[in-house]
Structure 1
Amino acid sequence: MKNKTFATWLTFLGGPLGLHRFYLKGFGDLLGWLLPIPTALGLYGIERVQQFGQDDQWSWLLIPLLGFTMAGCALMAIIYGLMTPEKWNARFNPLLEPDAEAGRTNWFTVIGIAASLMVGTAVLMAALAFSFQRYFEYQIDEARKISQ
């Protein structure tokens, strides 16, 4: 029996590691095994910024991977949390009644949806802002080199 509230929180908190995919679909889920890769690359990008500074071009590419993965998992948490009990149970608990307790929404589910919305939006906007800022600063520096 797959609980919607638990899946919502697991997707929000452990989604970048693929934990929600293993919970809902089992250890044979390929996407669950692939999700830690962009997460690890994004963390490596953060490490590169700490080692080499903000002018490291690889970090401009790697850090947004972490942000986009976290934002995508927050979006999935919202989708799971907003599913109707009938749709949830039909998809993840096919042997249960359509209105079984596992698919029902409670206040803890709503709090998970709200937290996913706030954090997911903040992470997505931060990743976009960092990437675009570094890219445009690089373009300005290259234009200065050409003009001199």
Structure 2
Amino acid sequence: MKNKTVAAWLAFLGGPLGLHCFYLRGLGSLPGWLLPIPTALGVYGLERARMYGLDDAWSWVLVPLLGFTIAGCALTAIIYGLMTPEKWNARYNAGAPLDAPQGRTQWLTIGAVVLALLFGSTILMASIAFSFQRYFEYQVEEGRKISQ
């Protein structure tokens, strides 16, 4: 029996590592194995930005991968938390009654949804702002090179 609250918290806290996918689908989950790739690339981009500064082109390409992965996992936590008990139990607890307690929304589920909304939207907006700022600064610099 898969618990909706546990899945929502795993998606929020351990989503970039694919923990919620492994919890719901087992070790054969392809998204669970693929999620750490953009996470690792984003962490590498953060390390490059720390070592070479924010003017490093690879860092401003790689850093948003981490932000978008975290935001996507936060969205997944919100979807899990807001799913009706009937739909949850039909999808993840096949054979169980549709009103089984594992699919019910509890206060801890709501806490996961609220925190996922708060942090997910903040990280998403910061990633978008960082990406566009770096892209436009790069375009201005290239325009200056052409005009000289």
TM-score (norm: length of structure 2): 0.98
Q: Which residue of 2 aligns with 1:86?
A: 86
Matches within 5 A, 1:6-45: 6-45=6-45
CA positional deviation for 1:79: 0.3
Q: Which residue of 2 aligns with 1:109?
A: 109
Aligned partners of 2:55, 2:13: CA distance in 1, in Å?
A: 30
The percentage of counterpart residues that share the same residue type is: 68
Runs of 4+ more than 4 Å apart: none
CA positional deviation for 1:89: 0.3
Cα offsets for 1:20-78 (capped at 9, x unmatched): 00000000011100000000000000000001101100111101110110000000000
Q: Which amino acid aligns with 1:93?
A: N
Give the secondary-structure state (helix, strand or coil) at the position aligned to 1:91. helix
Give the secondary-structure state (helix, strand or coil) at the position aligned to 2:130. helix
Can you give the 5+ residue segments of structure 1 that lack an aligned partner in the other structure? none
CA positional deviation for 1:96: 1.1
TM-score (norm: length of structure 1): 0.98
Report whether the alignment pairs 1:141 with 2:110: no
Aligned partners of 2:74, 2:136: CA distance in 1, in Å?
A: 28
Q: Which amino acid aligns with 2:92?
A: F
Give the secondary-structure state (helix, strand or coil) at the position aligned to 1:98. coil
